[in-house]
Structure 1
Amino acid sequence: MQRTVLIVGVTGIAGFNTARAMSAAGWRVLGLSRSHRYDIPGVEQLRGDVLDPESLDRALHAQEFSHVVFTTWSRQETETENRRVNGAMLANLLGAAGRASKLEHVALVTGLKHYLGPFDAYASSPADTPFRESQGRLPVDNFYYDQEDILFAEAERQGFTWSVHRPHTLIGYALGNVMNMGVTLAVYGAICRATGEPFVFPGSPQQLNGVTDLTDARLLGRHVLWSSTEPQARNQAFNTVNGEVVRWRQLWPEVADALGVPAADYPGHPQPLEGRMGHADEVWAGLVEKHGLAPYKASELASWWHTDADLGREVETFADMSKSRAMGFLDYQSTIGSFTDLFQQLREARIIPGLD
């Protein structure tokens, strides 16, 4: 009997890649999003607003599904507002899903801010590395914690099992996403290649030289798929990272080479992209015309602020995957392969210029 999953935030980087993984495994995939950004093969797309319970009831009416994957969030000005809004989003969705179907399992995708703290207090007093799921919560407000508590309460009330996934920075295909370093660096590299500006690592010396890791969005999709049916994974939280650690001082020249642009010497201090890419839309419009690219603005593809936040951290950040390994999830992804595969996909979709 074919299983059916509802993926919330299906056009985002986590949702899109999870949908692809579960569809490839033979699942029927319902994808819920507020607007129709683009078609996704193998996904039946539904329209609904997670802040509007009535719209959710309309979207899920007469739909039957046993599993839910929640991947969306909404950035607010303060963590107090993040808690209120993002908690309501999950609560509304789980309420509507429970009214529509009998749920077996819900997977919640959060992130390593579980260990680092929210943007209001980002990395001010982080957990010790390597991050492990057994570490307790930080003594700060964090909407991830609220979402977990909402999930646990609804699981007990409705009788479903759950899993929580904590990826690091996601690298993978998605367009118009607010947290997409891979596409951001692809746009940055193409602009530098076109203008001759230096492709310089924009972040902190600590990030350039320290140990870190990343998460391929395809691996996240496979991890969610695994946790949705693996008995040992029920009612567990998991780190979700590629399975190797890297240093940006080693990775940056490889990323540059994959984008066909020389890696510039590091000046010894951060050079944030948000302050340097004010001309990006103008340059990008010329590249779109010259190379026949899809008609996006650079500002619709790149998330300068988020990449600056990731690469500007002054603390070491990497997560342990031993818990998943012990339960049988042995997947691994080369980190430079995450970038090169994404860049090729973007070229084939005519999102960024080719290297000819």
Structure 2
Amino acid sequence: MSGRALVVGVTGISGGNVAARLLAEGWDVLGLCRRPVELDPRITALTADLEDADAVAAVVRGTAPTHVFFTTWSRRETEAENCDANGRMLQNLLDAVSDERSVRHVALTTGLKHYLGPFEAYARAQPDTPFSEDQARLPYENFYYVQEDVLFAAVERDGFTWSVHRPHTLIGWALGNAMNMGVTLAVYGAICRETGRAFHFPGSSEQWEAVTDVTDAGLLAEHLVWASTTPAAANHALNIVNGDVFRWRRMWPRLAEALGVESAPFDGEPAPLQVQMADAGEIWPEVVRRHGLRDTNVETLASWWHTDADLGRTIETFTDMGRSRRLGFLGVRDTESSFTGLFARLRKERIVP
């Protein structure tokens, strides 16, 4: 099954990968973003600020999408502001496509902060693991909850089917994305190698020891398309992770080897990347010059704060994939290969040495 897809946030890690998947399967793809940089020429670019309802309505008018993939978000100073901004962004988009009367399915990508809480209350509670879609919402403001409620209200109004997708940490190709641990670690490893620094695990002892998982961005794309075209998967919230689990104490030295850098012994104390990489802005231009890399700002590539948040958790975090499996989704990825495959592409594209 194929159709006319509107991918909202098409330049991000989720949107870019789902757009590539849709194109490979023969879909007609519209891509909405604020800055259509390096888009596949087969994508029809739509440019608008999602917080501007009139601008969104103007670019969507007449496009008649059959499927919507909402894969973007905007970070604000407080969760109350996150709720307001991200709720309005989704509301504006759903109001715009409502006028088209063509949409059959809307897929919303959120994440595991549904279970862990927003940044302001991050990991204050310890929900039972593995995280299951039927767990109750936490008693904190959370823009994921606001977006779900906006989606459900639009479903009542317009009658399309829906799916909500909850990935863990995303690993995959995207540049300038706020949540891309894979690119962040590749840049960190490159700087360590160039400066002779050891590759220190930046997070907590709990994360070093605990079982965890991640999500390959290509697998998320597969999951999004599957849920949007499989009747049995309609109208469900769905976790999506690779399907394997690991411990950082075993994965970290393997990633160090893949990056050609020495892994430092973990002493039990966090070593945040925001501190370790405080001078990255001074070092990176010389790395770029020395190796003839693409001239990319290090702060565009690496998201130190987000990787620190992921690896600094003091609670166990892994996810139940049972619901998707029972509904027929059998996709899996090998997590070490998710990382090493990304590292190889970053080298090929001259992003890291």
For Structure 1 versus Structure 2, the TM-score category normalised by the shorter chain is over 0.9
Tell whether 2:19 aligns with 1:34: no
CA distance in 2, matches of 1:120, 1:80: 10
Which position in structure 2 is the counterpart of 1:142?
Answer: 142
Which position in structure 2 is the counterpart of 1:114?
Answer: 114
Residue 21 of structure 1: CA displacement? 1.1
CA distance in 2, matches of 1:221, 1:42: 18
Which position in structure 2 is the counterpart of 1:51?
Answer: 51
CA distance in 1, matches of 2:352, 2:42: 25
CA distance in 2, matches of 1:47, 1:260: 40
TM-score normalised over the length of structure 2: 0.98
CA distance in 1, matches of 2:120, 2:192: 32
Which position in structure 2 is the counterpart of 1:320?
Answer: 320
Which position in structure 2 is the counterpart of 1:334?
Answer: 334
Which position in structure 2 is the counterpart of 1:127?
Answer: 127
Tell whether 2:83 aligns with 1:70: no
CA distance in 1, matches of 2:41, 2:83: 33
Which position in structure 2 is the counterpart of 1:12?
Answer: 12
Residue by residue over 1:289-325, the C-alpha shift from the partner in whole angstroms, topping out at 9 and shown as x without a partner, is 1111111011110000000000000000000001101
Residue by residue over 1:17-46, the C-alpha shift from the partner in whole angstroms, topping out at 9 and shown as x without a partner, is 111111111111111001123223532221
Paired letter, 1:78: T
- Structure 1: runs of 5+ lacking an equivalent: none
- Farther off after superposition, 51-60 or 308-317: 51-60
CA distance in 2, matches of 1:51, 1:231: 32
CA distance in 1, matches of 2:62, 2:152: 26
TM-score normalised over the length of structure 1: 0.97
Residue by residue over 1:128-187, the C-alpha shift from the partner in whole angstroms, topping out at 9 and shown as x without a partner, is 100001111111111111110110110110110000000000000111111110000000
Which position in structure 2 is the counterpart of 1:185?
Answer: 185
Tell whether 2:208 aligns with 1:208: yes
Tell whether 2:228 aligns with 1:228: yes
2:206 and 2:313 in contact (8 A); partners too? yes
Helix, strand or coil at the partner of 1:295: coil
Paired letter, 1:290: R
Is the alpha carbon distance of 1:103 and 1:142 closer, same or farther for their aligned partners in structure 2, counting shifts above 3 Å?
same
Paired letter, 1:24: A
CA distance in 2, matches of 1:13, 1:273: 21
Which position in structure 2 is the counterpart of 1:267?
Answer: 267
Residue 100 of structure 1: CA displacement? 2.9
Indicate the RMSD between aligned Cα atoms, in angstroms.
1.0
Residue 101 of structure 1: CA displacement? 4.1
Residue 2 of structure 1: CA displacement? 5.0
Identical amino acids, percent of aligned pairs: 57
Paired letter, 1:12: G
Helix, strand or coil at the partner of 1:242: coil
- Structure 2: runs of 5+ lacking an equivalent: none
Tell whether 2:61 aligns with 1:61: yes
